[in-house]
């Protein structure tokens, strides 16, 4: 672990208010620096960021890389369907209609502001999150020992954060009406962090599964194909967790991801599996903003070959906008 990361974790643990102030300043600075008003400006800024993070110039006319096609989607396809299904509250109704309510993590409450939450009525442990972004969540393991003032500061900031411009022009997030939701805290049988199964789907078919473990202490990512054979390539520089075993109901997880991805040329479907019980996580349409490298580099092209961006996106955009 880098010294900077160790220092950051130390500050978060021992100086939480200072950590929050530093975080807010970084976010606001980034939003102010990158916010643009027109699509032409956004296109130029996306090209600049792409070169910075991927290391090559983007080809807008003939995108072949997977990461290029994510930029293409962000710039040209902004149908409300992406906003609705990226909304962690609204997506619940859609998922319930597609596969059944039993696959949803039990909802405890939903509010328009932090001040509306009655903590006396909340269970001892739960997960509190906003519906309009990624990473804006807090795991509450004992409500009696939480710092409500710090928690309020976090959620007040997240509820007003311009997430679309913060993460690299994922503009579908800008159409989400911010809310705070509380869900039941789901655990696994070993009382460790839940494994996060990310199903990479193209044209309604699961091609790869990324399994994330130790997300809150020792984050690792292990990649498998649809036959549960381990792949040697990697996104970014995650370590591999060789202890990851195939879930007993893996075929059912494939079935669910296939149903949820139907009609989309590309989407990432995230699922959890707790003691054999499958839960829906989220739908992701602009994976990592298209700003994480693949190793080896040829995988960026191989994933891009699976994604025909001219195939059904426009049909989806048109149908969502006409109701």
Structural domain includes residue 113: no
Structural domain includes residue 167: no
Q: What DSSP state is assigned to residue 275?
A: T
Distance CA 272, CA 197 (A): 6
Structural domain includes residue 312: yes
Structural domain includes residue 46: no
Pair of tokens at residue 115: 């001040």
Structural domain includes residue 288: yes
Structural domain includes residue 180: no
Q: How many domains does the chain have?
A: 1
CATH number at residue 252: 3.30.470
Distance CA 135, CA 88 (A): 12
30 contacts: CB under 8 Å, gap ≥ 6: 166
Measured CA to CA in angstroms, residue 173 lies from 84, 130, 220 at distances of 9, 12, 27
In tens digits, the chain (323 residues) has pLDDT values of: 567 777 777 888 889 999 999 999 999 999 998 888 888 999 999 999 999 999 999 999 999 999 999 999 998 876 689 999 999 999 999 999 999 999 999 999 999 999 999 999 999 999 999 999 999 999 999 999 999 999 999 999 999 999 998 889 999 999 999 999 999 999 876 656 789 999 999 999 999 999 998 877 788 899 999 999 999 999 887 889 888 999 999 999 999 999 999 999 999 999 999 989 999 999 999 999 999 999 999 999 999 999 998 654 444 434 334 33
Measured CA to CA in angstroms, residue 42 lies from 12, 38, 168, 256 at distances of 33, 6, 9, 35
DSSP 173-231: GGGS---EEEE-----TTSSPPPEEEEEEETTEEEEEEEEE-TTTS-EEEEEETTS-B-
The residue range of the domain holding 276 is: 76-102+189-323
């Amino acid at each position: 672990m880098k010294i900077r990361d160790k220092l950051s974790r130390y500050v978060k643990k021992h100086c939480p208010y200072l950590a929050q102030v530093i975080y807010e300043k970084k976010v606001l600075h980034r939003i102010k620096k990158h916010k643009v008003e027109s699509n032409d400006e956004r296109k130029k800024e996306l090209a600049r960021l792409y070169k910075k993070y991927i290391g090559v110039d983007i080809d807008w006319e003939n995108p072949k890389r997977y990461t290029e096609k994510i930029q293409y989607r962000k710039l040209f396809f902004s149908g409300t369907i992406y906003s609705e299904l990226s909304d962690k509250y609204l997506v619940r109704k859609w998922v319930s209609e597609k596969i059944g309510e039993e696959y949803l993590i039990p909802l405890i409450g939903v509010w328009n502001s932090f001040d509306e939450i009655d903590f006396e009525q909340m269970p001892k442990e739960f997960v509190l999150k906003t519906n309009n972004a990624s990473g804006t969540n807090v795991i509450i393991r004992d409500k009696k020992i939480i710092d409500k003032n710090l928690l309020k500061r976090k959620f007040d900031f997240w509820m007003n954060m311009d997430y679309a411009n913060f993460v690299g022009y994922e503009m579908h997030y800008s159409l989400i009406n911010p809310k705070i939701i509380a869900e039941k805290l789901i655990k696994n049988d070993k009382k460790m962090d839940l494994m996060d199964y990310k199903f990479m789907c193209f044209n309604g078919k699961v091609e790869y599964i990324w399994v994330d473990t130790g997300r809150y202490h020792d984050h690792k990512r292990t990649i498998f194909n649809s036959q549960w054979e381990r792949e040697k390539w990697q996104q970014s520089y995650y370590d591999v967790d060789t202890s990851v075993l195939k879930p007993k109901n893996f075929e059912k997880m494939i079935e669910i991801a296939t149903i949820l991805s139907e009609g989309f040329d590309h989407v990432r479907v995230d699922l959890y599996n707790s003691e054999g019980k499958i839960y829906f996580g989220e739908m992701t349409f602009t994976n990592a903003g298209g700003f994480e490298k693949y190793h080896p580099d040829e995988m960026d092209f191989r994933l891009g070959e699976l994604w025909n961006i001219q195939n059904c996106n426009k049909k989806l955009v048109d149908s969502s906008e006409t109701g």
